[in-house]
Amino acid sequence: MFNRNFACGASALAILMATSSVAIAQETTGGIRGRITDGSGAGVAGSVTITHEPTGTTVTTVSDASGFYSARGLRAGGPYTVTVSSAAGAGGLQLGSIGVGDPVAGNIVVGEQAAELDAIVVTGTRQRFSNDFGYGSSSNYGADAIAAAASISRDPKDIARLDPFVTIDPSNDDALGFAGVGTRLNQFTVDGIRQNDEFGLNGNGYPTQRSPISLDAIEAINVSVAPFSVINNGFIGGSVNAVTRSGTNSFTGSAFYEKSNDSLLGDRYWGYGPRGAGFRARQNYNRVFDEQTWGATLGGPIIRDTLFFFLSYEKFESEFSLNEGPVDAGFANPIPRITTDAVDTFRAATQSRYGYDPGSFVSLAPPVQDEKYLAKIDWNINQDHRLALTFQETRGESFNGSTSSAFINGGSTSQPRLALESSQYLKDERLTTWNAQLNSRWTDAFSTELRVGYKETETTQLPVGGLSVGQVTVGVSDLAGVEPGSGTPQIQFGADNFRHDNYLYSEVSNAELIGRYSWGSHDFMAGIRLETRDFTNVFVSQSLGQWTFASYADFLAGNASGLVIRGAVDPNGGTVPATFGTARDGAVEFGYDVNSIYAEDTWQVSDNLRVNFGLRYDWFSMDDRPTLNTNFRTRQGFDNTSNLDGRDLIMPRLGFNWTPGDWTVSGGIGRFSAIGTNVQIGNPFGNDGQRITNAVCTGPITGVTDLSVVPAGANCTFTPGNGSVVALDPDFEIPSAWKYNLTVGRSFYLPLIEDFRLQADVIHNEFENALYYTDLLPTVAGTAPDGRPVYTRPAGPVVFDLLLSNLKKGGSSTSGAITAQKRWNEGLFEGLDVRTSYTYTEAQDGNPLTSSQPDSSFVRFASADHNNPVLATSDFEIRHKFSVNANWTRALFGDNETSINVFAQRRSGLPFSYVYHNSRTGNFDNDFGNAVPQSYSGALGTSNQLFYVPQTDASGVVTATSDPRIVYASGFNLADFNAFLNNTGLMKYAGSIAPRNAFRTGAVTTFDVRLSQEISVPYVPTGKVKLYMDIENIGNLINERWGVTEQYPFYRGVGTVVLQCRNAANTANASCAAPGAVYQYSTLQNAGATGDLAGEARRPNAQLPASTWQIKFGARLSF
């Protein structure tokens, strides 16, 4: 009887744990909490023994007079057996598995008489869903769910996306987003070690270009947007927490091989491109690639019941072609006007004139690879103490920072600009971590966790053409072989500005001690955490020079129109001749400590109400300061040497879980903080303007024959203190968010469907002291016709004085999700598990801070005043998301499982803005004096200024006289302009500046599928071979019009008209700040010159390869 009922309880709870939302991020262990009662429901005091069956590890505790018991510090996974001995009788329960974080429910009813273990009867009913899922919205996924998910890239993000609040951006290296919050404000941890991008250079959020850990090494993944325990911090968006597998008393292992290539990739899609002339049409996608992944795991006992090991290895190799290239070379995204003949002519001329080979265009990237190692030892020192030691290392080599798809570094289809081979770069990355965790149980009521961790990352970026010549950009309209057309065609070669000796090294070490004490219905927890972060960064952009030649003829003559040089000098020295290659002298070293103390009480108020409340205090210590720049002090009246020292934050937390009857209501309120990315903290050190300065060149740059040295006739000099400055605001505050969450769930019963679960979640974030940059150098010269400020700047080598500061009211986000879940355990649909959700999000921010460069972060978003940004729709907002995850598993052939897993989602497109399409001089626009992006900006635009929509007349039409602020250039077609305003939706903002991100691209629907079949291995009782196939974006395989993701280029600013300010009489050009000045609009930026296209905006781009289907085949042997 006992075994049969035990199995019943195990089955129900194994299902429960596969999907319940009970975990908390940053935890590395799980727990079991419950109540022991007799047949009448009265609490029973007794002895509780908890056994982890795979290892034989046991933990003993006691229940109090009310029957409550709790055990923490348990391994994730299972199964676990819980047995009770008491004066009222004995009882037991088996849990299929436990997750990470908040303890799972383990309530037991004991019999009236004590009995032997094999006679214990488990009372209670079979239940499908947990009625106790902790505090805050979160999802927990065990090893089975991880193994079943479709994942072409073998990335934990493919598991995280199952959570209703998570989205993935395929246009930004699959960056992970939570509820509309910036992708750089999230956290990814493995066994408590943070493995998100510590410094903040990678778009994917990892310190490596692929996932830093193999999926086969993960026991469980928790995804949480609002975990209210005080143990959690370091993120404002959300957290993904992975716990690695451990060895057991049985030897287990696996080996796998996966393969995909261009024959398994879609070669066409329906969208905008070379075909269709501004309309959607069938586009060809010709990409050559070949990738394979293989790996193995092995785990087992070294000493049975005492010492265990687990090993994991994975290697990825790939070769692929690029998407962009000369117009006649057959690329998926051809660069207009520039032909292969033009490239050949240019290359030969460069070798002849300058003795430097710039290379040709790149069609195939060099091989890339990624290797992952993990080793783990678990030692049951005795019944009360357990030690886990983990080593992990990941090494990767990528081309232009990508291991899955290639792009031309420095190229642009809209400029148009072709970057040659010497402009590309190879990126080497290494992540190494060590982690030790000691779990100790000192008494039945008191336990501790001691964690010590170390993480080291190293990144090197080396230009393919070496470090002899910096970035060279040449206008080639007059080059033979360049076709006629629009835009200003350019060819670029040499090390790009950001690869002029680029090296990053970081070390993060931490120690954390957590104590837990159970006292009756109270579980107390307190902890202290010490973390030290140290960084070395070699990065001085333009230290090899940035050359500009206005025409090919000038290039042949050696007459440059511009030369920009930055370099490192003795901060206490005098003026010296400017030289190339001083980046190493400008290396930045800085570090700081983050210290935390916290305490909380989890109080079981009653049988159905549990409350936790606590307080966390974080403070920063920092000795390093940027080099003082006295010129900055003179200009601004304060020093540029502020740092994080002494900054602190108090974070209260409150969570609750109430289970009245069949309902569950949970939630909480709490404050969370994250500094963002450490590159922002390091920018003041690398941009002090004192030792890293800008060159002043007073002579002509003519007759140049060597691009690797500063031309003598240019008379370029470095003077300490003459550089642009980035400073931390002396009144800087640590950014934080107040999170508010409410979750309501209930199981229902309907005919045919039977039992299913409905759950509603709401999460609201209020951002305080969000990061943003303001430029202190310019002054307001006046206001433009539409009321926006016009800036003027002093002459000289200093380009900006940027201040990293805070927006007190930094925005907000609100997300609501409704989730339905059902599993069929018998009948026709036996083995089918379906979860579907709909999520609605509204999010606002002031500055999305999307770049690692300070000047880029300042300018790469649309605004009418970048110094004083207003709250607007966030760049990261996905307004609507509907998703379905269905998994069907059944043993059709003996005990061999057949499985089909489908993940489908339909989501809104990302927001974008309408801006002016302007000319510029250097790094500033000609109209408002604002800084603009150096290399590219929006869709065919060189302005980041939001578009002013003219007033209409009484009939709702824009005419030549409907708005006194606007005049129109000769030949400007007002009919097309009106059609443009109506078709884009801009007309609703007539008489005002169209807000940032008030528009969005079309929604997209995608389906990903995994099909798998097990096969028994002869003579190996536990051996299985699993054959599987992943199909990504299967809708596009069925119909080329489906699954196409269209998006505008970063920063998603779309050009409208060319702007020129005129005097009040409209007789001459004038400053936009001049009294009575008016705007002159010309050159409408439409999708085409005639017909319907004349009234349509420029078209978005299809995201490739995400817009086409891909198949991966795999085989896995396990035992």
Please determine, for residue 44, whether its predicted confidence score (pLDDT) is greater than 60.
yes
Q: What is the pLDDT of residue 135?
A: 60
For residue 134, pLDDT beyond 80: no
Which spans in 931-1074 are helix H? 974-984, 1034-1038
Other C-beta atoms lying within 10 Å of the C-beta of residue 274? 15
Residue 790 has pLDDT above 50, yes or no: yes
Radius of gyration of the chain (CA): 31
- Please report the pLDDT score of residue 515 as a whole number: 96
C-alpha to C-alpha distance for 194 and 983, rounded to whole angstroms: 46
What amino acid occupies position 545? G
Return all residues near 1019 (Cβ < 8 A) that are at least 6 apart. none
Confidence of residue 21 (pLDDT cuts 50, 70, 90): very low
Q: What is the mean pLDDT of residues 23-48?
A: 74
> What pLDDT does 26 receive?
64
3-state secondary structure of 609: strand
What number is the average pLDDT over the span 188-204? Answer: 88
- Separation between Cα atoms, residue 610 and residue 69, nearest integer Å: 13
Question: 750 falls in which pLDDT band (50, 70, 90)?
Answer: confident
d(CA 722, CA 173): 37
pLDDT at 126 over 70: no
Half-sphere exposure at residue 13, Cβ-oriented, CA atoms within 13 angstroms: 28
pLDDT at 406: 62
Tens digits of residue pLDDT in 379-428: 999 989 999 999 999 999 988 877 666 667 777 777 799 999 999 999 99
pLDDT band at 47 (very low <50, low <70, confident <90, very high): confident
Beginning with the edge strand found earlier in the chain, give each strand of the sheet holding 1053-1055 in spatial order.
999-1000, 911-915, 1053-1055
- Where does the pLDDT of residue 951 fall: very low under 50, low under 70, confident under 90, or very high at 90 and above? very high
Q: How far is CA 658 from CA 603, 663, 667, in A?
A: 12, 8, 9
- Three-state DSSP state, 2: helix
The predicted-structure confidence for 600-645, as pLDDT tens digits, reads as follows: 999 999 989 999 999 999 999 999 999 999 999 999 999 999 999 9
Nearest to 96 by CA among 37, 48, 140, 35: 140
595: helix, strand or coil: strand
The H or E element that residue 14 is part of is helix 2-19
Query: HSE on the CB side for 1080, CA within 13 Å?
Result: 18
Helix (H, G, I), strand (E, B) or coil at 408: coil
Q: Is 183 left (phi over 0), alpha (psi -120 to 50) or beta?
A: alpha
pLDDT at 129 (0 to 100): 39
Pairing of the two strands 368-382 and 779-783: unpaired
Q: What is the pLDDT of residue 797?
A: 86
Query: Considering only CA atoms, which of 392, 405, 210 is closest in space to residue 289?
Result: 405
How confident is the model over 684-717, as pLDDT tens digits? 999 999 998 989 999 999 999 999 999 999 999 9
Residue 574 has pLDDT above 60, yes or no: yes
Q: Which residues contact 915 (CB under 8 A, 6 or more apart)?
A: 862, 938, 941, 943, 944, 945, 946, 947, 1053, 1054, 1055, 1056
Of the ranges 185-194, 675-684, 802-811, the best mean pLDDT one? 802-811
Domains belonging to the chain, first-starting first, are: 2-124 (2.60.40.1120), 257-663+681-748+764-791 (no CATH)
Q: What single DSSP character describes residue 131?
A: S
pLDDT at 940: 53
Residue 919's pLDDT is 66
Whether 155 has a pLDDT exceeding 60, the answer reads yes
Could you write out the DSSP letters of every residue in 1072-1090? Answer: TTSTT-EEEEES--BS-SS
pLDDT in the model for residue 117: 34
Q: Say how far apart CA 125 and CA 145 lie, in whole Å.
A: 25
Q: Is 279 exposed, middle or buried (0-12, 13-18, 19+ CB in 10 A)?
A: middle
Half-sphere exposure of 987 (CA within 13 A, CB side): 18
Q: Is the pLDDT of residue 16 over 50?
A: no
CA-to-CA distance for 1048 and 936, rounded, in angstroms? 13
Average pLDDT of every residue of the chain:
89
* Size of the chain, expressed as the number of residues it contains: 1119
Instruction: Answer whether residue 133 shows pLDDT above 60.
Output: no
Tokens of residue 169, six digits: 């951006």
Write out pLDDT tens, residues 208-249: 989 999 999 999 999 999 899 999 999 999 999 999 999 999
d(CA 925, CA 444): 70
The mean per-residue pLDDT over the stretch 918-923 comes to: 66
* Distance between CA atoms of residues 307 and 379, nearest Å: 5
What is the average pLDDT across 431-451?
95
Distance from C-alpha of 478 to C-alpha of 489, rounded to nearest angstrom:
9
- Please say if the pLDDT value at position 528 is more than 50: yes
Q: What is the number of other CB atoms lying within 10 angstroms of the CB of residue 421?
A: 18
- How confident is residue 366, by pLDDT bands cut at 50, 70 and 90? confident
The SS3 assignment for 497 reads helix
**Which class for 116: exposed (0-12), middle (13-18), buried (19 or more C-beta within 10 A)?**
exposed
pLDDT confidence of residue 404: 63
The pLDDT, as a whole number, for residue 922 is 61
Question: What's the whole-number mean pLDDT along residues 1081-1101?
Answer: 91
Listed in sequence order, the residues at least 6 apart from 412 whose beta carbon sits closer than 8 Å to its beta carbon are 335, 936
In this structure, the number of other CB atoms found within 10 A of the CB of residue 60 comes to: 14
pLDDT at position 131: 45
SS (H, E, C) 410-476: CCECCCCEEECHHHCEEEEEEEEEEEEEEEEECCCCEEEEEEEEEEEEEEEEEECCCCCCCEEEEEC
pLDDT tens digit sequence for 874-901:
999 999 999 999 999 999 999 999 999 9
- Give the 3-state DSSP-derived string for 537-568, with helices as H, strands as E and coil as C: EECCCCCCCEEEECCHHHHHHCCCCEEECEEE
- pLDDT classification of 136: cutoffs 50, 70, 90: low
Helix (H, G, I), strand (E, B) or coil at 352: helix
How does DSSP assign 180-245, residue by residue?
TB-GGG-EEEETTEE-S-SSS--TTSSSSSS-SS-GGGEEEEEEES---STT--S-SS-EEEEEE-
Q: How far apart are CA 550 and CA 553, in angstroms?
A: 8
Overall average pLDDT of the 144-164 stretch: 93
Residue 15's pLDDT is 32
Amino acid at 477: S
Q: Is it the case that residue 525 has pLDDT exceeding 90?
A: yes
Each residue's pLDDT tens digit, 641-660: 999 999 999 999 999 999 99
Indicate whether 1 pLDDT > 80: no
Give the mean pLDDT of 8-24: 34
Separation CA 356–CA 327 (nearest Å)? 25
CB 613 within 8 A of CB 598: no
pLDDT of 357 > 50? The answer is yes
Q: Are 939 and 917 spatial neighbours (Cβ–Cβ below 8 Å)?
A: no
Residue 677 pLDDT? 84
pLDDT at 572 over 70: yes
| Tokens representing residue 353 in the block | 């004139």
H or E segment to which residue 768 belongs: strand 754-775
Closest CA to 927 of 1053, 774, 1070, 780: 1070
DSSP 8-class letter at 321: B
- The pLDDT assigned to 413 comes to 75
Residue 673 β-bridge partners: 736
In angstroms, the CA 508 to CA 453 distance is: 8
* pLDDT at residue 722 tops 60: yes
Per-residue pLDDT band at 356 (split at 50, 70, 90): very high
Q: What is the pLDDT of residue 923?
A: 64
The encoded tokens of residue 674 equal 């994250």
How confident is the model at residue 113, as a pLDDT?
A: 40
% of residues, the chain, pLDDT over 90: 70
Predicted local confidence at residue 967, as pLDDT: 97
Tokens of 934: 């150096």
What CA–CA distance (Å, rounded) separates 935 from 913? 19
Q: What is the pLDDT of residue 517?
A: 94
Does pLDDT of 114 surpass 50?
Answer: no
* Per-residue tokens: 959: 């005419």
Query: Cα–Cα distance between 735 and 25 in angstroms, integer?
Result: 20
Q: Which residues, 6+ apart, have CB-to-CB distance to 401 below 8 Å?
A: 202, 209, 425, 427, 461
